A and B are shown apart, each in its own frame.
Chain A
């Protein structure tokens, strides 16, 4: 009995070693990672499908990795070859630099510094900016004729508009609520309402407030028919999305650059919001959403 048990154990150990050490080393393969939120996963799937359609490289997906830290460590180690990243995150989290509010400058700093420090290349921006924004209900936008943030100041419109948002937005020192009110020189009606992220869209949908903070590509913007006000004074730092890829991988598969750059500028804020909506609200599968986007945009 005991001997059998020991033999069983040994077999398992052997099987395990074979499993672990045979997995590596597929010559014609790249690995795509994404962070653990919806938008990142959709982008990763789009990258994967465009590569599969345009090249004969096989793609392994590691979607849903636990956040920025893990994706970045993984690409530095070479466990993944590429993943979608945002310039704002690149500058503050990876390069540990202060916020850069100019879009183009931010992108160029990322491009140069990542190449120098990490041997990672930034490909062309996809075309959207997922940053904080102020969103108002359709009715309020029509009533006060709002399309950009400085419209809030016209005829002191903001004083008739109530504002509520997530806790973090009020706590952020530089690019939060107070900074916004200072720059645009506005104040809102009554006390601001502070709440949990998940509740803020429901609250504005139920007309408990008129304006809130949003991420510019949130699917709820479509769901609740909100109007995102253009940040015309450039208060919120840009978070431009682009594929980032190891230089080594680009050397090995030079065609990847052109293939991924087919997506350049194709995914605007409107498109990205719609893609998020299709997955989050319409419950379509990520695969289908990515495929439909690529065919409709005429990329594959």
Chain B
């Protein structure tokens, strides 16, 4: 039962983090796309965040946000920014210039073009970014135990402490399973979206 409870915690942490990553990531992607010169800075920033070793980033965040779930969620959000922001930016950039012109010609405002044409057209790519972020968050969230957050990490790390392989597996298998299930599920949706877009 402990495994079930910890799996739920794990899911909750990853989900919450992903929701926030989507909000922040897509917003940053839009800003990078819309505001001249900011794109390089934003993309550089998200790239750099990704290169910081996870435990170092979490230990650093811990100094400001203390022990617990909040710090882990912030860490996960920072790691998720790269795929989401970059895919949003690329998606928006790659919308066909003819379509953009057509929207302009129809008299749409900048905001209308973004919300009604550009974002919907780039959504499949943004969705891929979200998928990558979600799936990788499952494994990064394991480190949460080291900064006092919940999740399956506590089982895995207890197993490592006492060199008990079966205990390590008890924690690791649910993490992997959840990541795989979400990966398959989201890939399925993604394929359907692409199919729909083609028709």
Q: In the bound complex, do residue A80 and residue B67 qualify as a contact, i.e. CB atoms below 8 Å apart?
A: yes
Inter-chain pairs besides A13-B20, A74-B67, 12 sampled, C-beta below 8 Å: A16-B73, A19-B69, A20-B69, A23-B69, A38-B161, A41-B158, A65-B147, A66-B58, A67-B146, A73-B59, A79-B148, A280-B163
- Chain B hits for A20, CB < 8 A: 69-70
- Chain B hits for A37, CB < 8 A: 161
Q: In the bound complex, do residue B145 and residue A38 qualify as a contact, i.e. CB atoms below 8 Å apart?
A: no
Q: In the bound complex, do residue A70 and residue B62 qualify as a contact, i.e. CB atoms below 8 Å apart?
A: yes
Chain A contact residue count (CB 8 A cutoff): 29
A70 to B23, CA, bound (A): 30
CB distance from B16 to the nearest CB of A (A): 5
Q: In the bound complex, do residue A41 and residue B147 qualify as a contact, i.e. CB atoms below 8 Å apart?
A: no
Q: In the bound complex, do residue B62 and residue A74 qualify as a contact, i.e. CB atoms below 8 Å apart?
A: yes
A28 to B68, CA, bound (A): 19
* Chain A stretch 30-89: residues in CB contact (< 8 A) with chain B: 33, 36-38, 41, 62-67, 69-70, 73-74, 77, 79-80
Chain A facing B: main interface SS: helix
Chain B interface residue number, banded: 20 to 34
Q: In the bound complex, do residue B147 and residue A70 qualify as a contact, i.e. CB atoms below 8 Å apart?
A: yes
A79 to B143, CA, bound (A): 18
- Chain A hits for B148, CB < 8 A: 33, 62, 65, 74, 79-80
CB distance from A1 to the nearest CB of B (A): 12
Q: Is B19 an interface residue (CB 8 A)?
A: yes
Asked, given contacts A13-B19, A20-B70, A66-B146, whether A73 binds B63 with beta carbons under 8 Å apart, the answer is yes
Contact of A77 among B66, B69, B143, B162 (CB under 8 A): B66
Q: Is B169 an interface residue (CB 8 A)?
A: no
Q: In the bound complex, do residue A36 and residue B59 qualify as a contact, i.e. CB atoms below 8 Å apart?
A: no
CB distance from A152 to the nearest CB of B (A): 32
Q: In the bound complex, do residue A64 and residue B16 qualify as a contact, i.e. CB atoms below 8 Å apart?
A: no
Q: In the bound complex, do residue B66 and residue A38 qualify as a contact, i.e. CB atoms below 8 Å apart?
A: no
Q: Is A271 an interface residue (CB 8 A)?
A: no
- Chain A hits for B163, CB < 8 A: 280
Mark B residues whose CB is within 8 Å of A.
12, 15-16, 19-20, 22-23, 55, 58-59, 62-63, 66-70, 73, 143, 145-148, 154, 157-158, 161-164
- Chain B hits for A74, CB < 8 A: 62, 66-67, 148
* Chain A stretch 76-134: residues in CB contact (< 8 A) with chain B: 77, 79-80
Q: In the bound complex, do residue B66 and residue A64 qualify as a contact, i.e. CB atoms below 8 Å apart?
A: no
Asked, given contacts A66-B146, A74-B62, whether A38 binds B19 with beta carbons under 8 Å apart, the answer is no
Asked, given contacts A38-B162, A41-B161, A70-B146, whether A62 binds B67 with beta carbons under 8 Å apart, the answer is yes
A40 to B69, CA, bound (A): 22
Could you write out 20 A-B pairs with CB less than 8 Å apart?
A16-B16, A33-B67, A62-B148, A63-B154, A64-B154, A64-B157, A65-B67, A66-B143, A70-B62, A70-B147, A73-B63, A74-B62, A74-B66, A77-B63, A77-B66, A79-B66, A79-B68, A80-B67, A80-B148, A279-B162
